[in-house]
A and B are shown apart, each in its own frame.
Chain A
Amino acid sequence: MLQINKEYINLLLTHDQRVDGRKLEQYRDIKVEYNISENAEGSAKVSIGDTVVLAGVKMDVGTPFTDKPDQGSIVVGAELLPLASEDFELGPPSGDAIELSRVVDRGIRECQAVDFKKLCIKEGEKVWMLFIDIYPLNDAGNLQDAAFLAAIAALKTAVFPKLENDKVVFGEFTKEKITLQRVPIECTLLKIGDKIVLDPTLEEERALDARLTVAVTEENKVCAMQKGGEKGLSMDDIDKMITLAIEKTQELRKNLK
Chain B
Amino acid sequence: MAYTKRTDGRKFDELREMEAKVGIIKSADGSAMFRVGKTIAIAAVRGPRDLYPKFKQDSQKGVLRCNYDLMSFSVTERKRPGPSRRSQEISLVTEKALLPVLELDNFPNAVVDVFITIVQADAGTRCAGINAASLALADAGIPMKDLVCAVATGIINEDKVIVDVNKEEEDLEGGLADTPMAILPRSGEVTLLQMDGEASKEEILESIKLGKRACEQIYRVQRDALKERYGGMKDAAD
Contacts and interface: CB of A to CB of B under 8 A. Distances in A.
Interface residues of B, number: 31
A38 B38 contact: yes
Contacts of B81: 77, 79, 93, 133
B184 interface: no
A110 B75 CA distance: 29
B71 interface: yes
A250 to B, nearest CB: 29
Contacts, number: 88
A85 B42 CA distance: 14
A163 interface: no
A43 interface: yes
Contacts of A137: 24-25, 42
**A interface, size bucket:** 35 or more
Task: Provide the main secondary structure of the chain B interface.
Answer: loop
A58 B78 contact: yes
B28 interface: yes
B72 A77 contact: yes
Task: Provide the main secondary structure of the chain A interface.
Answer: loop
A54 interface: yes
Interface string A22-50: 00000000000000111111010000001
Contacts of B44: 82-84
Contacts of A77: 72, 81
A227 to B, nearest CB: 27
A37 B73 contact: yes
Given A54-B119, A56-B71, A39 B76 contact: yes
Minimum-distance CB pairs A-B, first 5? A56-B73, A40-B73, A171-B76, A58-B78, A83-B115
Given A133-B72, A138-B28, 4 more contacts: A40-B73, A79-B81, A86-B49, A92-B82
Interface of A: 36-41, 43, 50, 52, 54, 56-58, 60, 77, 79, 81-86, 90, 92-93, 131, 133, 135, 137-140, 168, 170-171
5 contacts: A58-B78, A81-B115, A131-B72, A137-B24, A139-B27
